[in-house]
Amino acid sequence: MHQLRRDDQSSVQVKIGYVGGGSRSWATTLMNDLAQTTDLAGEVALYDVDRESARTNAELGEWIQRHDEAVGDWKYTVAETLSDALADADFVILSTQDPPGETMVNDLELPAEYGIYQTVGDTVGPGGTLRAMRSVPQYREIAAAVREQCPDAWVINYTNPMTVCTRTLYEEYPDINAVGLCHEVFKVQELFADLAEEYLDADDVAREEISVNVKGINHFTWVDDAHWGDRNVYDLVDRWVADRESVPRFDPGDLDDESYFVNHRDVTQDLYEQFGILPAAGDRHLVEFVPWYLDVESGEEVQQWGIRQTPSEYRVDHWPEGEDERRELLEGDEPFEFTESGEEAVDWMRALLGMEPLKTHANYPNRGQCPDLPDGAVVETNVLVDGDGVTPLTAGELPDQLHDIVLTHVKNQETLVAAGFDGDLDRAYRAFLTDPLVDVGTEEARELFSRLVDAERDYLDGWDLSSSVLDHEESAIAADD
């Protein structure tokens, strides 16, 4: 990190390079948080291949700063190149996404033709695999730019697939300082806060008061200990489960009028009853890591577990809606509404600058914190963050059978990263084939993989698209003809 300096008001001056600076959601959240920060100040350099979207965010950031409630002092600029954005940066924020109309529609709809239904499609399963394949070349480029422009900067990644993106950064630049942040675990802390209020007659318990022991991989994390202060509250889960209805408890169509992001915690309840350990991620993500919840004849049947699919049309429609919301803010008469976002990027920056230590959870290379998972693989556990960096905290081992499920996904993610560095489509296909959600025959799996690659080839830079896995499919089609 280059020499930091303070202004006359003693704010530490920093530069944040924001890759994906045209973001339609994460950028606004960061601007909200920075504007309410008094001990940090400086420049946010926005870089995005969609230059116009980055310009809109720069305009939005400056508009937010003009509000009386904006006590932070930040300047927003648009960087013409990735190198410009990262030059001498102290922190790098990553929140990128390819256009959903050209990618996620295929990720969700093509597998559905083979009876493979996905509730999210961004971490594992066919959608997660293709998203990983698109991401590896992009995150190699980002890591190389960090190595050249700001080798000591801390990189905070918000992009899914979280594990693959963060792992790619380290594979390209082993000395990088990078973490992946996800807010999923906050939800299980909120659950324990609710249980403390319900069963212990406590009042207004905040999730920050709940300490949990986290272990696993992103979106498939688990908690085996929870404390509220000195009080062990993990045993409250048994009371919570005993008081609930047995699951599954819904019929297809019951949730048609609810949000696509509804979560009744029914999958959480069932997994706890099966494995004796509490899942920490949301149900919509959890079901994609195990095959049985999505073994259905139609997407509507997923509702029996208290969740809904996020359809491709929502992904497509939501993209321009984000642009419209920003423009409405800028062109309307209403002031910006500052909020407590609950996100931790600013807390991380303050902790890494030595201002205030932070104990939280993060995605970070395994250095023994998950002793039963491969060294170097990116895992999600508690960490201590301070001026000396990130110290992962030992989480312990997973239950045996659950460990085997997690390990399958770890090895597939490691395979996808290695395949991406070699551009080896055949190797990526093997990870695709062994993903638990790809529960079709090998010929169908190969055909589906080929169709996905063909539909998204414009976003698969660095891959050898003359691979034998595609040749095989062409031969099979020719034979059928």
3-state DSSP of 339-375: CCCCCCHHHHHHHHCCCCCEEEEEEEECCCCCCCCCC
Whether 419 is covered by a domain: the verdict is no
SS3 for 185? Answer: helix
DSSP 8-state code for residue 261: T
CATH number at residue 118: 3.90.1820.10
Do 120 and 241 lie in one domain? The reply is no
Whether 462 is covered by a domain: the verdict is no
Structural contact between residues 318 and 261, judged by C-beta atoms closer than 8 angstroms: no
Do 196 and 208 lie in one domain? The reply is yes
Q: Is 227 a catalytic residue?
A: no
Do 164 and 199 lie in one domain? The reply is no
Whether 342 is covered by a domain: the verdict is no
Do 174 and 265 lie in one domain? The reply is no
Assign 3-class secondary structure to 195-206: HHHHHCCCCCCC
Choice among 22-26, 45-49, 268-272, 465-469 with the minimum mean pLDDT: 465-469
Q: Which residues does 179 contact at the CB level (< 8 Å), separation at least 6?
A: 154, 155, 156, 157, 166, 348, 362, 363, 364, 383, 390
Do 173 and 228 lie in one domain? The reply is no
CA atoms of 39 and 481, how far apart (whole Å)? 68
Task: Tell me the two tokens of residue 273.
Answer: 């009853």
> In which band, very low, low, confident or very high, does the pLDDT at 56 lie, cut at 50, 70 and 90?
very high
Task: Tell me the two tokens of residue 60.
Answer: 């939005």
Domain boundary residue, one of 130, 157, 181 = 181
Give the pLDDT score at 323.
82
User: Looking at residues 248-252, what average pLDDT do you find?
Assistant: 96
Do 106 and 173 lie in one domain? The reply is yes
Do 109 and 98 lie in one domain? The reply is yes
**Residues paired with 360 in a beta bridge:** 383
Give the pLDDT score at 183.
93
Give the pLDDT score at 389.
98
Whether 285 is covered by a domain: the verdict is yes
Choice among 98-112, 316-330, 378-392 with the minimum mean pLDDT: 316-330
Q: 146: domain range?
A: 5-181
Phi and psi angles of residue 399, each rounded to the nearest 5 degrees, phi first: -55, 145
The answer to whether residue 413 scores a pLDDT higher than 70 is yes
- The per-residue pLDDT for range 277-328, each reduced to its tens digit, is 999 999 999 999 999 999 999 999 999 999 999 999 999 988 888 788 899 9
Residue type for 11, please? S
Whether 147 is covered by a domain: the verdict is yes
pTM for the full predicted model: 0.95
Tally the domains of the chain.
2
- pLDDT > 90 in the chain, percent: 91
SS3 content of the chain, % helix, strand, coil (to 5): 45, 15, 40
Do 148 and 285 lie in one domain? The reply is no
CA atoms of 348 and 355, how far apart (whole Å)? 10
User: Looking at residues 211-232, what average pLDDT do you find?
Assistant: 98
Domain boundary residue, one of 312, 331, 348 = 312
Catalytic residue from among 2, 183, 318, 472 = 183
CA atoms of 339 and 379, how far apart (whole Å)? 30
Closest CA to 47 of 34, 32, 58, 62: 58
Do 173 and 194 lie in one domain? The reply is no
Whether 460 is covered by a domain: the verdict is no
Do 18 and 145 lie in one domain? The reply is yes
Domain boundary residue, one of 293, 312, 331 = 312
Do 279 and 130 lie in one domain? The reply is no
Do 30 and 173 lie in one domain? The reply is yes
Task: Tell me the two tokens of residue 157.
Answer: 């990644």
DSSP 8-state code for residue 259: -
User: Looking at residues 144-153, what average pLDDT do you find?
Assistant: 98
> In which band, very low, low, confident or very high, does the pLDDT at 480 lie, cut at 50, 70 and 90?
very low
